[in-house]
Amino acid sequence: MKKNNVLGGIMALIAAIIGIVGHFVLFFQWYVAGMSAESAEPGCEILLKYIHPGLGDVGFLASAFFLVSAYGFFVKKNWAYTLSVIGIILALLASFFINIPFMAASLPPVYFMLFFPYILFYFVFLWKVGEIPWSRILLGMGTGITYIFCFMNGVSSTSRIITVGTPIFYLVVSLHWVAMIGWAIVTFGILTKPKNWMVPVGLLAGVTELIVGIPLAVITAQELGRFSLFALAPIASLAMVFILVIPNLWQKWTNAVD
């Protein structure tokens, strides 16, 4: 795969700076406000107190990947692209999820100020530096969003166990993490070297999330009297499973090899 090393190094360096500066600034401005806010959703106080700094660490780790990747691009190393792919997978997770409990606590979703630049980085980097086809870029975005939604269900189920203790959360919590890991593997593979064995991995991740996510979404929607955000992961998983089972579509979009 041919890569523009200079552009790759510059973009990775910018992505690292965005993450380091952005997470420090936003955390110190909003951490205390987040812990002090009253939330309409049970368990959000756990997310704002503990997951907020945890995701900040994920963001810093992503920046570390970007910095080493930038060095790799400037000295023309083959591993530079792979490190940036890992970096953007982590950066999008770190900058998206925490906005949900912020909004539930009637606070502004300030981390979208990091998420949207990283979305732009994702598309431009993969297109201009990775030079991969748009079919893979868009498919990777779909599986990546699904991976983030499964993470959301895993974290939110854990916080509900601590604060509410409803039995359904004890039953399903671990399988959200299994589904998340599966989708993360598939996403990384699509953006680096697609293989045909990733299809059953994606199907297992998707079906697992459907089995535990649909009942959870129904039960929580009944309790809340409205649409439940726990439904996002099974909805996204259903869409991805549908794409993966269409004959020859995976091969057409990814040109995967065994």
| Pair (2, 30) in one structural domain | yes
| Pair (223, 255) in one structural domain | yes
| Pair (118, 182) in one structural domain | no
Q: List, as one string, the DSSP characters of the chain.
A: ----HHHHHHHHHHHHHHHHHHHHHHHHHHHHHHHHS--SSTTHHHIIIIIHHHHHHHHHHHHHHHHHHHHHHHTT-THHHHHHHHHHHHHHHHHHTTHHHHHHTT---TTHHHHHHHHHHHHHIIIIIS---HHHHHHHHHHHHHHHHHHHHHHHHHHHHHHT--HHHHHHHHHHHHHHHHHHHHHHHHHS--BTTHHHHHHHHHHHHHHHHHHHHHHHHHHHTS--GGGHHHHHHHHHHHHHHSTTHHHHHH--B-
Could you tell me the two tokens for 61? 């780790």
| Pair (151, 140) in one structural domain | yes
Encode pLDDT of 38-53 as tens digits: 655 556 666 777 888 9
Mean per-residue pLDDT for 211-239? 92
Mean per-residue pLDDT for 75-85? 95
Encode pLDDT of 187-205 as tens digits: 999 999 999 999 999 999 9
pLDDT at 224: 77
Domain boundary among 131, 146, 179: 131
Please say if the pLDDT value at position 245 is more than 50: yes
Please say if the pLDDT value at position 175 is more than 70: yes
| Pair (26, 146) in one structural domain | no
Return the exposure string of 102-118: e unless at least 16 CB atoms fall within 10 Å of the residue's CB, then b.
Answer: bbbbebeebbbebbebb
Mean per-residue pLDDT for 220-225? 85
Q: Mean pLDDT score of the chain, rounded to an integer?
A: 92
pTM here?
0.91
| Pair (55, 164) in one structural domain | no
| Pair (125, 137) in one structural domain | no
Please say if the pLDDT value at position 1 is more than 50: no
Please say if the pLDDT value at position 2 is more than 60: no
Domain boundary among 103, 131, 159: 131
| Pair (147, 253) in one structural domain | yes
Percent residues over pLDDT 90 in the chain: 74
Domain boundary among 131, 148, 183: 131
Please say if the pLDDT value at position 30 is more than 50: yes
| Pair (155, 244) in one structural domain | yes
Look up the domain containing 52 and give its range: 1-131
Report the domain count for the chain: 2
| Pair (122, 142) in one structural domain | no
| Pair (123, 169) in one structural domain | no
| Pair (18, 118) in one structural domain | yes
Encode pLDDT of 102-146 as tens digits: 887 788 999 999 999 999 999 999 999 999 999 999 999 999 999
pLDDT at 226: 86
Selected residue with higher pLDDT from 39 and 24: 24
